[in-house]
Amino acid sequence: MLKPLSLKILDIVTVIVLAISTYLALVFAPAEIVMGQVQRVFYFHIGTAWVGLMGFIVAAVAGIAYLVTHDLKWDRVELAAVEVSLVFFFITIVLGSIWARPVWNTWWTWDPRLTTAAVTELIYIAYFMLRQGIEDPDRRARFGAVYTLLGGISAPITFMVIRLFRTIHPVVIGSQSAAAQGGFNMTGDMKVAFFFALFAFTVIFIDLFWHRLRLGSLQDKVEQMKLKVTM
């Protein structure tokens, strides 16, 4: 299965935007006065969180599409979105802990945002474990569609929780909670690094998502061949 030219170009663009985003975050943007160099983690932390939550919503939409059409291609879309997003969201949690250690003096605390993020990650880890126990493709797809539709609710909850409750997690855009610790105002250069990071990680997500879709298509063909052999 030859890689299309457009995907090859996207691979190159992905490497370029990642390199630019890294330069903007580590060199171009100034160090934050209070937090110092560790604040630079923030650009990657927000970028990975953005695409992680976006992918979970994409999976929920694909689940709805499968329930309406019963077309297994939507199950592949759903699976690819969850798999890529799960990795990005795990990176988000790790980067957040790296930032929190010097700022909050702890690697982890059961703050509302951190708690909902951990629950979201566990929900989608369970998704893969439960899928593995279903052999019939149609039943597996129906299960996945319903699961991601319900699990997708956790994405907007995770995003909104710091805007609805008192939390020590800072709000990047919008009003801070009175209890927030580690918030800061971005300079013009910081905003350039921030918004470019969002763009860069969106491109990276699309690239990896496309690769995972192609792999899923190949896996389905192998599975169909196995079914024909056993019949």
pLDDT per residue as tens digits for the range 198-231: 999 999 999 999 999 988 887 777 767 766 676 6
Q: Which two tokens stand for residue 18?
A: 């990642």
* 70 three-class SS: coil
Per-residue model confidence (pLDDT) at position 230: 64
Of 15-19, 23-27, 28-32, which gets the smallest average pLDDT? 28-32
Q: Which two tokens stand for residue 93?
A: 């949690």
Q: For residue 177, is pLDDT > 60? A: no
- pLDDT tens figures, 67-93: 999 998 999 999 999 999 999 999 999
- pLDDT tens figures, 155-174: 888 877 777 766 777 766 65
Name the band, by pLDDT with cuts 50, 70 and 90, for residue 43: very high
Residue 109 CB neighbour total at 10 angstroms: 14
Q: For the purposes of burial, counting CB atoms within 10 Å of the CB of 8, is it exposed (0-12), middle (13-18) or buried (19 or more)?
A: exposed
Per-residue model confidence (pLDDT) at position 78: 94
Per-residue model confidence (pLDDT) at position 21: 96
- How far apart CA 71 and CA 78 sit, in angstroms, is 12
Over residues 38-45, mean pLDDT? 90
Name the band, by pLDDT with cuts 50, 70 and 90, for residue 179: low
- pLDDT tens figures, 132-142: 888 888 899 99
Name the band, by pLDDT with cuts 50, 70 and 90, for residue 182: low
Question: What average pLDDT does the chain have?
Answer: 86
Name the band, by pLDDT with cuts 50, 70 and 90, for residue 1: low
Percentages helix, strand, coil for the chain (3-state, rounded to 5) are 75, 0, 20
- How far apart CA 69 and CA 58 sit, in angstroms, is 16
